Structure 1
Amino acid sequence: MLPILPTDILPTWVRGHYETWLYMIGIFVLLKPIAYLTLRILAQQYTYTVFIRKSDEAYDMLLGWIFAAGIDKGARSVIARVGVRGGGLIEEEAAAAAGPSPKNNNKKRITFSPWNGALLFWFHGRPVYFKTHMRQVGLLQEEEVTVVSLGRSAAPLRNLLEECRQLHLRQTEQRVAIFGNHGSAWSKEASRVARPLSTVAMDRDTKEQLVADMARFVNPATQRWYAQRGIPYRRGYLFYGQPGTGKTSLSLSVAGHFDLDIYRIQVSGITDDSLKQLFEKLPERCVVLLEDVDVIAKSRAASGGGSPSGADSGHPADAAVGTTMSGLLNIIDGVSSQEGRILIMTTNYAARLDAALVRPGRIDVRVEFPLADRNAAKNLFDLVYRNPVDPTEDSSSEKDKLHLLADSFASKLPERQVSPAEVMSFLLQYQESPQQAVDCVQEWLASRASRQLQN
């Protein structure tokens, strides 16, 4: 039988040590803030900290490295998202990296990333502390990452971020990152496989001249030449033509060709101040895509600003435009405009544009995108039906047959009356049968003409 202790032994012991307990509690209360302050001072003196906001591309680089290293598996607090991984990889990229899978297995993928918690890992023999938290930015909250390394040297974390950057560049090689504006901030919208220049149907000489001009501009020797003469290192291009003629497609292609990211700005609904901040936040090497700049001319005409070319165009003015012509002009070549960038403006209505907007110095090269001629139609036909992996694998007879079909197809198309986008849309209906595309093209043209008459 177990011995039975007196029921009053604990109260007696506590009463006997009452003063001791009060003394210990008092010391704890007194020393707690001192200990906390001491730890803060030690942390400030013997650790190095880097803060990274989610809106910055460095966030994608760091999260991508953490995923690749498998460090995220140690997180005890995560956030689940549909479609987006850490590291900025969108849903289709993650699916492509995973390889083939059963139907719908990659649809609406749920991915997990560290959230509102901490991770401890080792980098080159040094402990690194990683923590995510929410930061108040005005009326909104933004996720922020804190990375802390032990020691007073900045080198370990800088080496870590450089390793993250190199991994990110390898992962995104042959891809074009597309950034869009949300207010006065940039955010990554998508990442696309770089489109070869050969897939853009346009005059070969015009394309080659444009690419050669851009190649000269991005050459480091050109940058030194500009700097030595005190000339702002910027280049502007105007792409104009009817819808569907390849203006945006060529912009994506040249960005991929020169390994540049695209920063796309919709000038409608954005103020001059926000546009100025966006230009100030641009990286040194990039393509800035200003689409449909004629919308500013329409707004100016509607408000009595005197845009003669847009006043009788018959198109409704967009009263919601916030960017003014004077604001845009000052931002494009103002002192705060980032150097090293390539500016591409696109418009369907070149005649509406203010002469000050497209003067030399702001626009250096103008490229017209006409409707498809027969040569462009042949190139599109060849693009759709040739062997995409290795064109040399096609037999000589198959090449000859495809060449004859391309000639026959192009001969049935009216010159400069159909856009390349329309031709491509038609060909994709018969992507497995070039002969059927040739047989059906006249019927398609008749149907298209009938719809145009009705409209």
Structure 2
Amino acid sequence: MYSRFITAPLGAHNSWAILTTVFAGLIFIWKILRQMWNDQLWASIYFEDRHEDYDNLQDYVAWKIGDGLQIMQATAAKSGYKHGTPKEAVDKNGCFSQAKFSAIQVPSYCLWYGTYLIWYGWIPVFFTREQLPQHARGWEHTCMWTLRGVHKKLKKLHQEIRIWAVKNSEGTIRVWTPEERGCITAWKPGRPFRIRSEATIVLPDGVLNSVLEDMNKFLLPDTQEHFARLGQPHRRGYLFYGPPGTGKTSLSQIAAGKYGLDIYHINLDGFTGDIMGAVKFLPQHCILLLEDIDKMDFHAKGEEKTLSLSAVLNALDGVGAAEGRVVIMTCNQPEKLDSALTRPGRIDFKQGFSLATRRETEQLFLNCYKPLEREPPKSPSPNPKTEKRAPDVSVDPYNVEGRGYNDEELSAYVQRFCNIIPDKELPAAAIISLLVQYPNNPKMAVDNAAEYVRQYKEFQKLTSPDREVQKEEEDEESDK
């Protein structure tokens, strides 16, 4: 039949060309019809994997599906675990067991690639997770789509997912780190960590409140409107400088937790990614933490890719720089910073940090061994309808006796400890490192403080810059 009606009149060569053209035309028409179907009938929202809501969408869909059949298509490639170490992970000898700890932890699952259906009221909503070619802007994306006639519900659902995610992650924040993907630098979310309390950091009087109040004032909507009226970009830059271990990063974490801001962290010491591209995709409200700003080397070393000062300056306040973000830069030696980097507009608030004073050492000791301030527990009432009885004064609500020392002994310990720790010679991190070795045992901390200080100073001499210069001079003399 084919040979009689097509090949004979047109010839074999021409007939194959016509069939190929017809087949290509049918494919083209199918693509147009499919595109029209998608454009006219369906409304969709796409989220790249570097979007701040990407993980929230997957967690929400997995939560909505629950224990249904589709959850069997999930993967445990990304797992999240509860904070802390439960008592079940400790064996009978009082030793931690990683095997027991892993066995009792429940991993959180993310959806595998494919399409999932959930119902938003009476409206069907589809979620599709797809992989993309590596040359694309993201490596994968999630699409949320539904009927075009109810597309407004899709936007409402997206907003509800964001509210659900905020409630679900209450008490935690995320730290994002840059990840190079070919020619672009994307942000990779880390595991959420618990918000740090303001009571866990010890700083000179007024430092904590001044930084937090200034940041809160900047984040208020009235301030944003004020910047807009003046025609100024809504940005705020902070510089925390001082010796290592004095609380610069800790204060950044406390500020992030207090105002619910995620931290986008870049360690500039050795960073070779596209900082301008990374900063361009920051969310409106976040903390961009640039650590070790004084260790950046802006001079090219052969063919090695290095970070330029111009790129950093443009990332901070260039035309494409994000607004609404807080930039916190930390350094140990502010005298090494370029004046163009620290001028007003890029750095608006400078705060120095110093080694621990006697007052700060005392507060660190009390924070470690003094019971937490909280309301005494109330005795349960035998009948919920009756009036609650006053707590029994014979029962110690703070379990002071169980600590093995009373308040008078604690006061004596803290005075002895402060007499041993030299004033303004150790950072707070070094003092905390000593105290955490002896939980609930201030006497051991005091007894071992002198030896700890001696070892710390000895090690500091070995690693100090003066020691390195002296060693180089000794090597030169030995060569002669």
Deviation for aligned residue 1:295: 1.9
Within 2, Cα distance between the matches of 1:427 and 1:319?
47
What is the match of residue 196 of structure 2?
A: 195
Deviation for aligned residue 1:420: 0.7
5 Å-filtered alignment, 1:256-295, equals: 256-270=257-271, 274-295=274-295
Within 1, Cα distance between the matches of 2:123 and 2:308?
53
CA contact (8 A) 1:267 1:321 kept: no
CA contact (8 A) 1:244 1:422 kept: yes
- Which shows bigger deviation, 402-411 or 361-370? 402-411
What is the match of residue 62 of structure 2?
A: 67
Deviations, residues 346-378 of structure 1 (Å, cap 9, x unaligned): 011111111221122211111111111111111
CA contact (8 A) 2:50 2:138 kept: no
Matched, 1:166 2:163: yes
What is the match of residue 46 of structure 2?
A: 51
Matched, 1:248 2:255: no
Deviation for aligned residue 1:167: 0.8
Deviation for aligned residue 1:154: 1.5
Deviations, residues 411-440 of structure 1 (Å, cap 9, x unaligned): 221011111111001001101201221122
One-letter amino acid of the structure 1 residue matched with residue 282 of structure 2: L
Within 1, Cα distance between the matches of 2:195 and 2:34?
50
| Structure 1 counterpart of 2:317, from 329, 333, 344 | 333
Matched, 1:428 2:428: no
Within 1, Cα distance between the matches of 2:444 and 2:305?
46
The answer to which structure has the higher strand fraction is 1
| Structure 2 counterpart of 1:363, from 334, 337, 347 | 347
TM-score calculated relative to the size of structure 1:
0.79
CA contact (8 A) 1:45 1:152 kept: no
Within 1, Cα distance between the matches of 2:176 and 2:231?
30
Within 2, Cα distance between the matches of 1:362 and 1:454?
37
| Structure 2 counterpart of 1:91, from 77, 81, 87 | 81
Deviations, residues 6-37 of structure 1 (Å, cap 9, x unaligned): xxxxxxxxxxxxxxxxxxxxxxx9xx978886
One-letter amino acid of the structure 2 residue matched with residue 383 of structure 1: N
One-letter amino acid of the structure 1 residue matched with residue 447 of structure 2: D
Deviations, residues 255-308 of structure 1 (Å, cap 9, x unaligned): 111221111112244458x21112211111111111111122x444x87xxxxx
CA contact (8 A) 1:78 1:112 kept: no
What is the match of residue 348 of structure 1?
A: 332
CA contact (8 A) 1:270 1:321 kept: no
Deviations, residues 356-403 of structure 1 (Å, cap 9, x unaligned): 211222111111111111111111112211224738644699344433
Within 2, Cα distance between the matches of 1:321 and 1:379?
46
One-letter amino acid of the structure 2 residue matched with residue 157 of structure 1: L
Within 2, Cα distance between the matches of 1:366 and 1:162?
37
Within 1, Cα distance between the matches of 2:68 and 2:412?
58
Aligned residue for 2:244, secondary structure, equals coil
TM-score calculated relative to the size of structure 2:
0.75
Deviations, residues 133-184 of structure 1 (Å, cap 9, x unaligned): 2111417972222222134332122122112111100112221211111132
Deviations, residues 33-74 of structure 1 (Å, cap 9, x unaligned): 788865664443222222222222222111121222234733
Deviations, residues 290-349 of structure 1 (Å, cap 9, x unaligned): 1111122x444x87xxxxxxxxxxxxxx99662111221232121211121111110111
Within 2, Cα distance between the matches of 1:232 and 1:44?
37
Deviations, residues 176-200 of structure 1 (Å, cap 9, x unaligned): 2111111321121231111112211
One-letter amino acid of the structure 2 residue matched with residue 413 of structure 1: I
Computed over aligned residues only, the root mean square deviation of the Cα atoms, in angstroms, reads 3.2
One-letter amino acid of the structure 2 residue matched with residue 357 of structure 1: L
CA contact (8 A) 2:127 2:144 kept: yes
CA contact (8 A) 1:238 1:363 kept: yes
CA contact (8 A) 1:176 1:252 kept: no
With over 3 angstroms needed to count, the CA separation of the structure-2 counterparts of 1:76 and 1:413, relative to structure 1, is closer
CA contact (8 A) 2:81 2:108 kept: no
With over 3 angstroms needed to count, the CA separation of the structure-2 counterparts of 1:267 and 1:35, relative to structure 1, is closer
Within 1, Cα distance between the matches of 2:211 and 2:108?
42
With over 3 angstroms needed to count, the CA separation of the structure-2 counterparts of 1:91 and 1:433, relative to structure 1, is same
With over 3 angstroms needed to count, the CA separation of the structure-2 counterparts of 1:123 and 1:180, relative to structure 1, is same
**Which fold has the larger relative contact order, with Cα–Cα distance below 8 Å and residues 6 or more apart in sequence?**
1
5 Å-filtered alignment, 1:130-279, equals: 130-138=127-135, 142-183=139-180, 184-270=185-271, 274-279=274-279
Within 2, Cα distance between the matches of 1:364 and 1:72?
51
With over 3 angstroms needed to count, the CA separation of the structure-2 counterparts of 1:384 and 1:106, relative to structure 1, is farther
Deviation for aligned residue 1:244: 1.1
What is the match of residue 357 of structure 2?
A: 373
Paired residues in the alignment total: 402
CA contact (8 A) 1:77 1:117 kept: no
What is the match of residue 125 of structure 1?
A: 122
CA contact (8 A) 2:81 2:107 kept: no
One-letter amino acid of the structure 2 residue matched with residue 287 of structure 1: I
One-letter amino acid of the structure 2 residue matched with residue 60 of structure 1: D
With over 3 angstroms needed to count, the CA separation of the structure-2 counterparts of 1:262 and 1:35, relative to structure 1, is closer
Within 2, Cα distance between the matches of 1:399 and 1:419?
26
What is the match of residue 78 of structure 1?
A: 73
CA contact (8 A) 2:49 2:138 kept: no
One-letter amino acid of the structure 1 residue matched with residue 53 of structure 2: A
With over 3 angstroms needed to count, the CA separation of the structure-2 counterparts of 1:341 and 1:38, relative to structure 1, is closer
Aligned residues with identical type, % of pairs:
28
With over 3 angstroms needed to count, the CA separation of the structure-2 counterparts of 1:53 and 1:112, relative to structure 1, is same
CA contact (8 A) 1:178 1:191 kept: yes
Deviation for aligned residue 1:113: 3.0
Matched, 1:104 2:94: no
Aligned residue for 1:68, secondary structure, equals helix
**Structure 2: 5+ residue runs without aligned partners?**
1-22, 90-99, 377-396, 464-480
Aligned residue for 2:347, secondary structure, equals coil
CA contact (8 A) 1:74 1:119 kept: no
Aligned residue for 2:340, secondary structure, equals coil
